[in-house]
């Protein structure tokens, strides 16, 4: 994985689910001319098309900026770009919400992973998730849920089992576009060719973690894996929109 160019396969898709009347989730995956990989999931909120607009504005801001860049000089500049472009998306959503009462209060989660050679940079707001699958064995959540229940978990006030059924498990502590400025969680990890999954809460709230990992460990194509995860989510209730992005590096 130390070559200049990353090679691999990716697939992404969103689905309305079985309960919601509109699809407010957005997803994207792009490789630029320098071999940098960008993966993004957004889960819009606000209802009545507000969430759909918020997530669309975020995805469009980020993918347009990424496509216009030839590459990144080093990981420092890449990390700076991740923070900057997410804040630009926040500004775009907030300004739209202030200029039109119809869209007041709209927002979105964002989970963005930028992979450059042997480095992965995670930009995160809200409760969509990023997972790494290492050596087809170790399945790890790399993002932290910015929810009230996530806070209770991290501070030891509840355990993992209690978190699954907590009445406030859907309450977000942070979202993009709700305020004039954004608080963005940015982390950098070594990247050793792990399989990457980005998803909205519509997937992980309907599909147990072990089942998600089992699909990723399988021999199917990335396109089939995306379809399988969405199908399982809908079979298990489809209580929300579902967004899934999968990236598999090639040796």
Paired with 121 in beta bridges are 114, 188
Q: Give the pLDDT means over successive 10-residue stretches in the chain (251 positions).
A: 65 97 96 94 87 97 95 94 98 95 94 96 98 95 90 88 81 91 96 97 96 98 98 97 96 67
Residue 251 has a pLDDT of 67
Tell how strand 242-249 and strand 8-15 pair up. antiparallel
Residue 241 has a pLDDT of 97
Cα 78-81-83 angle, rounded to 5 deg: 115
Residue 128 has a pLDDT of 98
Q: Which two tokens stand for residue 20?
A: 């919601």
Residue 4 has a pLDDT of 44
Residue 5 has a pLDDT of 54
For residues 36 and 176, give the distance between their C-alpha atoms in angstroms, rounded to a whole number. Answer: 24
Paired with 46 in beta bridges are none
The structure tokens 């480095």 sit at: 119
Residue 149 has a pLDDT of 84
pTM of the model: 0.93
- Total residue count of the chain as it appears in this document: 251
For residues 226 and 12, give the distance between their C-alpha atoms in angstroms, rounded to a whole number. Answer: 7
10 Å CB burial of residue 109 (0-12, 13-18, 19+) is buried
Domains of the chain: 8-249 (3.60.40.10)
Residue 165 has a pLDDT of 83
Residue 118 has a pLDDT of 94
Residue 148 has a pLDDT of 85
Residue 1 has a pLDDT of 32
Let me know: does 118 contact 37? Beta carbons within 8 Å.
no
Percent helix, strand, coil in the chain, to 5, is 35, 30, 35
């Amino acid at each position: 994985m130390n070559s200049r160019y990353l090679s691999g396969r990716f697939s992404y898709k969103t689905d309305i689910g079985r309960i919601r009347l509109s699809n407010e989730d957005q997803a994207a995956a792009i490789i630029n001319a320098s071999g940098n990989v960008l993966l993004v999931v957004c889960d819009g909120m606000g209802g009545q098309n507000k969430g759909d607009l918020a997530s669309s504005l975020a995805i469009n801001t980020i993918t347009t900026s990424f496509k216009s860049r030839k590459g990144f000089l080093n990981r420092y500049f890449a990390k700076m770009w991740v923070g900057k472009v997410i804040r630009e998306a926040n500004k775009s959503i907030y300004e739209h919400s202030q200029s039109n009462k119809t869209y007041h209060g709209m927002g979105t989660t964002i989970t963005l992973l930028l992979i450059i050679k042997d480095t992965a940079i995670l930009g995160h707001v809200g409760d969509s998730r990023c997972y790494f699958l290492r050596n087809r064995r170790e399945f790890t959540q790399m993002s932290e849920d910015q929810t009230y229940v996530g806070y209770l978990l991290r501070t030891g006030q509840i355990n993992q089992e209690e978190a699954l059924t907590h009445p406030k498990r859907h309450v977000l502590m942070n979202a993009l576009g709700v305020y004039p400025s954004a608080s963005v969680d940015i982390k950098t990890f070594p990247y050793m060719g792990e399989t990457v999954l980005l998803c909205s809460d519509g997937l992980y709230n309907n599909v147990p973690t072990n089942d998600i990992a089992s699909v990723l460990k399988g021999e199917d194509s990335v396109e089939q894996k995306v379809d399988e995860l969405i199908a399982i989510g809908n079979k298990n209730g489809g209580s929300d929109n579902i967004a899934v992005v999968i990236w598999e590096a090639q040796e």
